[in-house]
Structure 1
Amino acid sequence: MVSPDAIEAAARRLHGHVRRTPVMPLELGACGVPAALTFKLELLQHSGSFKARGAFNSLLSQDVSPAGVIAASGGNHGAAVAFAARALGHRAEIFVPALASAAKVARIESFGATVNVVPGAYADALAASEARAAETGALAIHAYDAPATVAGQGTLARELDAQLSMLDTVLVAVGGGGLIGGVAAWFQGRVKVVGVEPDSCPTLHSARRTGHPVDVAVGGLAADSLGAKRVGDIPFAIAQEHVADVVLVQDEAIRAAQELLWRDFRLMSEPGGVTALAALTSGAYRPVPGEKIAVILCGGNVDPASLGT
């Protein structure tokens, strides 16, 4: 599993390559939540999501051949790998499923990567990317089930730990599990880590119920960022040790949280990026009085038109 020492090493590696994103403490009762609430604004990270951390750590800790790098992605991981590859002088080829939003595909292309759209879902794009990597010898960067990816994402928790002196709980959106794996690996149970998933993509929730990762049906509003078919083995092993709970939210709650974030804070988040907040605003997670909670707003790659701007 990924250790705090591995996350410390990743943080040293990433210095100067990723942003130290700000935290935003809110007034008591903000968002209708009776708790001390703080946003971690990771949607301000390079490429628009936390994924830049894992992408840079993967590229900086491994040898990259002249063939460059390859990744499969619903959008955010692809953008992050493309951004990191361009910054470090490598070629990038990204495979995305047909359900990827046009805004995210354009984002990937803006960083100079070659984009291949694959019929089907993320699992189909992953299979195509693996075949291409075997053919070309390019370095494949997994979106969530690789130690370097998880350790890179864990630097977010290390950063948050330094920014907030008092913290009881962190709410984290879950897709394939790379982010929650990194967050839980850093805190090691010192802070309660709670995963939040759409009920239409319940990878970690289903795995915890059955005792091992299982395939789930993928759909819904946040499928382009949280639409992994199965939680990663590495994140699942970490979650079994250090994740306190996983709650499910409906698409309606995600959309309402997305609209609230724009209306009250003028922050644009994609559905997956605001899923953790939806657990609070919908009541799927109910804090105890005085609980100090950090909500990771993890992605901002959204078409502004979808928010009615």
Structure 2
Amino acid sequence: MKKNCGWLVVLEANECNVRLDLTMYAVNKGNHLVVQSIPSGLHYLGEGRTAPIPGLWFDLQPDQVLVFIFNEALKRYDKASLEIITKYQKLISSGAEIDNVETYVRHVDVGNSDRWVAWQKLTKHLKLGEIPPRIHSFEAIELPVNLSLEERKDWLLKQPTRFEQALFSTHHGDPDAFLTEFEYVFITQFINPKNSEALKRWNYLVQAIYNAGERGIIKVPDLFVSLIDTLMVQFALTFDAKLKPGYIAICGIANRVQIDLVSGAEYLIEDMIDSGIEGVVDKGKEFDTYLKQRGINPR
């Protein structure tokens, strides 16, 4: 067994495609799948994109063998009994031959990262005991009535930006909580493209980040370094058409969502470079270069 790695056994698979993190593994329905050399850490077990059942998150420890079995009655994967887990632990530790064994895929095909490194970046702030975090909705600030045009202008200038509202009001100024939601909504809509709630929130947070302004960047510079690292991996897993202004995502019958994941990126890049903050400037330039390599020229 590889150092700091474990095994996953999936019994009585419900789908012909079983998802482990960023990879789909083929398995005959009702059969079993064994995946070896899985790095220890947080993982997601699910199914093909058309599958209606929810997946599950789990932590894998070094040298651990985890066994999940499909529960037909409840339409979900459950942890197998201790007897079954012990059986597979003995089989694996003895080196016995097991059918349908796959190796955890670590191809370097997510930007410049292999799939495990990319998965770690995508889920860096997620903690098993806190999944699922709440997906927040946008709370509009109501404009006071009976204001003159000049008073209205002054009032609007004093209001927090969408970024400040999301970080300081929704997440009470906690960067880790902000990043947790940002990571979770991306993963959720990536795994299940029909989840329009997660897609809308991800799009909203991306636009909020773009319009944070130098004022927002100066308040939490380290957050923006982390955000750009995460955003570039998210974009690496997002097909080109989706990175065009006004893209319409089909999330189901009569459920279409218009999103814009790129307009405004030039403002963020300019503000990060103009901030003069060490680390932030270079990260802004890196994001600029990445977008141009994808054929998006925000500047």
Report the TM range for the smaller structure's normalisation: under 0.3
| TM-score, normalised via structure 1 length | 0.27
Higher helix proportion (structure 1 or 2): 1
TM-score, scaled to structure 2: 0.28
Identify the structure with bigger relative contact order (alpha carbons < 8 Å, sequence gap 6+).
Answer: 1
Greater percentage in strand: 2
Q: Which structure has the larger Rg over C-alpha atoms?
A: 2
